[in-house]
Structure 1
């Protein structure tokens, strides 16, 4: 519904109801609006307008005499057409920047930044980044059975990861050693994607000094590893406990549904990944996304980019639909800008 479809009186009363609801989390009555909004209208007049707004699908009355609260449709209208954002304070900006620049591995900085955003927004903080590609120091293969081997990759920073790969038929122990030695000597210092490209060139040019079985094992190992890294983004969630506040305890079923949603990290990651396209902040309210149809939750997410314009990740928050959008949206925007600077600096080192 275009905001222009509401007259000035309806718009003022609707804004007052939404503002009061987002503060209290409780349905708002006409007397409260008459006392607090400075509208110079009687409670009876306000009730009449609220009834009209309910008929338009913008407000709902959970109980006969409990006042009214915005529907998800009403919240969408408010967010898109009426919300006046409040920029983060100097203290809030300093808290986010301090966590992001605290030093240590980049994953730790992302986690502490998500925690800072959680604390400031009273929501759960989310950061989604692609799985970082390691630079290889060595690669080896350990036989598990005649049909399987364990590929052991050691990165330049000492991290070790393992994957099970299928062995070509007739693969002997000497071929395992040959494949590992070749990879360690040829591909050290490269990322997996770079290693795969170099290997493909050497195989195509006939420069790979390996027999057929070792060559097949190398191809299988790198293919499995690189595909796995591309398909497994890193999702960091901090501050789930902040979702269980005094207001939430009145609806434990909804809270449990939300916490269950957070446990389904692949689904959350897919939702955040949909925010990668474009530069603007995305706001998902309640059942607009089927993942949160039961829990009635909202997600605010924004991508952050490197200097070359490439998306480096997505940062955001998840909380109840009554979260303070006007305050949290610019907070997420600022955090995205901060993480873009952090990741840019990491890329230069």
Structure 2
């Protein structure tokens, strides 16, 4: 792809017309014509405006969807606008308060993350995204509920109140009393420990012969700890909120693009990989359309910002996804503020 001309290479007249076209398109989602520009206070004839529009189109910054239509920015033009012309607007006091209130709500951390992401989604009119590493649970209690002769439900309750369930396979002809014995042992002996600490203690007790567990209960304890440890290490926590906000009035004219975007959101592994690429550095990352192959077909933009804990290490990434005609000047500072809020929450 040929790089966009730097802002400095555009004349003052071209910069002004280009900015007005981008502003108009981002506001309405519709191409902007020379007549509308002439009526907006430009001291130029429609013919002069059309000449400048043609030059901007030749530079790859604008495009005309139809022969008689106005112009709209290309993805290259949006990149030039975002990097060199955008004037950011900080979130209002009310918007800040709404984000902070959701983050401060009582309950497990993942609920606060989901609530904060939902607030960001509502304020930005996009889908909100947040990704954090799987937090290792500190155990409060663990129990086993029989589901049948071959399976049981392992129920883990964390110190933060979070409850997780996993279905595990049982050894053949297992005595139901082994389920009770295993749950009692894990709650009494391993409560207050992380999964890694619990496994280490279990291994020490078994090696020293200090465990009163019989073979069946011991197998259940080992299997239960293994299931949670493997599950937590396998993937990060990715929370997506507000997909329905992508179906606005303007989207009805481009249902294929929106359908593709919603399909992209279902592929959480790819979204997680994209957000992970934004972890390096402190700057907000803006991915516009085909700049990322994941959104080449759906024509979407992602704004993502890493946030750090008290030790300076990256804790996670928060952001939004929506059509390329995002209100970047408003949404970028909103993502920045949300990242700072989550840094305080998880720091």
Q: Identify the TM-score tier after normalising by the shorter chain.
A: 0.7 to 0.9
- 2:125 aligns to what? 122
Q: Secondary structure at the match of 1:249?
A: helix
- 2:88 aligns to what? 85
- 2:100 aligns to what? 97
For residues 140 and 115 of structure 1, the distance between their equivalents in structure 2, rounded to whole angstroms, comes to: 32
Is the Cα–Cα contact under 8 Å of residues 132 and 315 in structure 2 kept in the other structure? Answer: yes
Deviation at 1:328, TM superposition (A): 0.6
- 1:20 aligns to what? 24
Alignment RMSD (CA, Å): 3.2
Match for residue 251 of structure 1 among 248, 254, 259 = 254
For residues 204 and 39 of structure 2, the distance between their equivalents in structure 1, rounded to whole angstroms, comes to: 75
Gaps of 5+ in 1: 345-349
For residues 39 and 175 of structure 2, the distance between their equivalents in structure 1, rounded to whole angstroms, comes to: 84
1:13/1:203 CA distance change after superposition, 3 Å: farther
For residues 45 and 233 of structure 2, the distance between their equivalents in structure 1, rounded to whole angstroms, comes to: 61
Is the Cα–Cα contact under 8 Å of residues 129 and 313 in structure 1 kept in the other structure? Answer: yes
TM-score (norm 1): 0.83
Alignment of 1:119-198 (within 5 A): 119-140=122-143, 151-156=154-159, 160-165=163-168, 182-198=185-201
For residues 34 and 85 of structure 2, the distance between their equivalents in structure 1, rounded to whole angstroms, comes to: 20
For residues 55 and 141 of structure 2, the distance between their equivalents in structure 1, rounded to whole angstroms, comes to: 70
Deviations 1:32-79 (A, max 9, x none): 2333263x3332222222222222222111000101111112111221
Is the Cα–Cα contact under 8 Å of residues 16 and 37 in structure 1 kept in the other structure? Answer: no
Deviation at 1:260, TM superposition (A): 2.8
Residues 284-293 or 181-190, more deviating: 181-190
TM-score (norm 2): 0.83
Match for residue 264 of structure 2 among 238, 253, 261 = 261
For residues 110 and 343 of structure 2, the distance between their equivalents in structure 1, rounded to whole angstroms, comes to: 14
Gaps of 5+ in 2: none
Is it true that 1:61 corresponds to 2:64 in the alignment?
A: yes
Is the Cα–Cα contact under 8 Å of residues 154 and 167 in structure 2 kept in the other structure? Answer: yes
1:99/1:258 CA distance change after superposition, 3 Å: same
For residues 160 and 90 of structure 1, the distance between their equivalents in structure 2, rounded to whole angstroms, comes to: 35
For residues 262 and 327 of structure 2, the distance between their equivalents in structure 1, rounded to whole angstroms, comes to: 20
Is the Cα–Cα contact under 8 Å of residues 111 and 236 in structure 1 kept in the other structure? Answer: yes
Deviation at 1:212, TM superposition (A): 7.4
- 1:222 aligns to what? 225
For residues 286 and 24 of structure 2, the distance between their equivalents in structure 1, rounded to whole angstroms, comes to: 20
